[in-house]
A and B are shown apart, each in its own frame.
Chain A
Amino acid sequence: MTIIWYLVALAIIAIPFAAMVFLPINKSKPILLVFFLLFIVFMYGPMLTMGVLSLQGTTGSMTLPAKELFSFHWYSELQSTSSVMVSVRQGISKSLWLSLIVAVITAILSLTLGMAFRRAFRGSGILFYAILLSLMTPGLLLSLGLSFLLYYAGIAKGEGTVGYLPIIGVQAVWALPFGFLVMMSVFNRYDARAEEAARDLGASSVRTFREVTLPLIWTGVFGAGLFGFTLALNEFERTFLVSGSIITLPLQLYIITSSSVLRPYVYSLGVVTILISFLLIALFLVVSAVTGRKTTRAIEDDDGGSMNTSAMQAAPSGD
């Protein structure tokens, strides 16, 4: 029987590929579209199921079919005073604050790193890969290593405000390569001539940065920060062994799923966190749409008239 499933899997990969290679574009397009839609269903289907299951009534179960649709019972349950819900809410608030801090750190570090990498410097190649290396480091090992380090340094985990620092550290290290790559691509497309013009017109380095560089790249910086936020919000394995008594939202969800009877509030909680992420992405899109506003005013032909010789008397030609 297993062999049949292998063949099905092979077909799923082979059919669109074969269609693309062997069929003319107008014939392969519908086939590719079907596979694309399948892909979308595969990606968003679970989310949809979760949404539906979160809208069940009191007797709702963890699996389909959904019962007593549609009710906000499990959403109001999130506000209950039961100890589980209290700790979930604390987890949410901790995670939001942590993610915000990590977002700011990621944005600033990505910006400064991006600026540094605009020109090659001694060792820039090695440093580039060193930064990206943290993408490939198994998160749990990083967490374990830091955990030992803290133990030998005599620092108790998860105590007081200091306890947040290792968490922020591992999450920022995780998010930084993403933010860094965002800034690298921003600076790749960036036209430095405007900066040269600014300096030429009398701007100091600081003013050039403030007046020209930052306005041109800041949606990228914002994007790097957004990466920091969402990655930190979802971070589990790196946080796991260094957080001590500080329970972030993913850790809290892990505790719930591994220790108590699961009820559909898990789904409503999932929906709420997804909504937070969507809200952030929407915010990002709005911000970049506003700053990069493209008016549809047509570029007229060069009818800007000619240089106005009658105005030359009023010219700023000096006295």
Chain B
Amino acid sequence: MSDTGLVLKDVYRIFPGDVTAVSDVNLEIANGEYVVFLGPSGCGKTTTLRIIAGHDEPSSGTVTIDGELMNGVSPAKRPITTVFQHYALFPHKSVLNNVAFGLKMQGVDKAERETQAKAAIELVGLTKFMDRKPRELSGGQQQRVALARVLVTRPKAILLDEPLGGLDRLLQMKMRVELRALQRELGITFIHVTHNQEEALSMADRIVVMGDAIVQQVGTPEHLARHPRNEFVASFMGDNNVFHGTVSGSNGGNVIIDTDYGKVEVEGSAASGSTASMAIRAAAVKISTDAAPATNGVRVRLDFAEYLGDSVKLHMDLDGKPFIAKVPEDRYAEVRALEGKDVTATWAAEDGHLLEQ
């Protein structure tokens, strides 16, 4: 176990009534890392965050920060602070006093804490709003105040609970870049909780995918996008097509799976006769009007070509089951003309991905 950074070991949280919110979480987060907890609502990600912050205690297991045991330590005494979901600013205090609050609690004298608070406010670009009350600020500005308020206390880690949830999409995109730049600049560990895959992929050094109270997979954005470990991750990350079937044999390093939609070949090994599933990324699927090959190809009806700016997402129908592909933006006119027609979707065996059962 690492002596530096944040370590969660065998963490469980069971609520009264035997509701398991968090189960068997083991994680090591290095100092200065940007980690995103990603999962659908009720997956245990916020509970995990609250356990790290000290607003909740694990039923069993330990939390350590730089080797120091945090169990039973109050949130006030932990070297980490939280940017709450709806910012939780103090409505009766000005921006300056909101930001200076943490220092005031540390007993820093008034002149010094105002100097530091002003520096933090400048950092988030709100100097001219310093004397305002939170309700006189827009959502994005409030969010920055919340950020300045935690930065000023120089925590070892900052926890962000759905920090961009309340912002409109354009502002979200802007804040993603700014948050990431700020984190790189300051070198503080950021632990960010979200249910938004795109947000997680765009910001994280590492993503922790949670589902059904357990950690489903941990990895870099690219790794998760390309190698989802199981069906939960594959479908939650989106843009994956999943096939289920029975292993009927092997071909070199590949395993052959018989599915309802034909044979698929994918890298890996599995016992013949066992059930197996595989995922293929939408971006790896190729669309043509040729006849379907014997393996790794299906006939689908192209229902709708969705223009996304940098690519075109194709929504297709595979015998009543949705099937998706992504093609470059410059093929829009071509695929648009195929709407309502049957096409062939193919992919290379090495792009497919055998999922854990």
Contact = CB atoms under 8 A, between A and B. Distances in A.
Asked whether A and B interact, the reply is yes
Interface of A: 191, 193-194, 196-204, 207, 211-212, 215-216, 291, 295, 297, 299-302, 304-309, 311-312, 314-318
Interface in B61-101: 74-77, 81-82, 84-86, 88-92, 101
B125 A312 contact: no
B33 to A, nearest CB: 16
Contacts of B178: 306-307
B129 interface: yes
B82 A197 contact: yes
A204 B76 CA distance: 7
A15 B89 CA distance: 50
B154 interface: yes
Contacts, number: 131
A202 B122 contact: no
A314 B154 contact: no
B141 interface: yes
Contacts of B85: 193
B287 interface: no
A11 B341 CA distance: 72
B195 interface: no
A202 B119 contact: no
User: Interface residues of A: mostly helix, strand, loop or mixed?
Assistant: loop
A211 B136 contact: no
Given A200-B76, A309-B181, A194 B90 contact: yes
A198 B181 CA distance: 27
A37 B112 CA distance: 60
B151 interface: yes
Contact of A200 (B82, B120, B122, B181): B82
A291 B93 CA distance: 11
A312 B150 CA distance: 15
B127 to A, nearest CB: 8
A193 B84 CA distance: 8
A307 B144 contact: yes
26 contacts: A193-B85, A193-B88, A196-B88, A197-B84, A197-B89, A199-B74, A201-B76, A201-B153, A202-B106, A212-B90, A297-B132, A299-B136, A299-B138, A302-B140, A304-B125, A304-B129, A307-B123, A307-B125, A308-B125, A311-B122, A312-B186, A315-B119, A315-B120, A315-B186, A316-B119, A316-B152
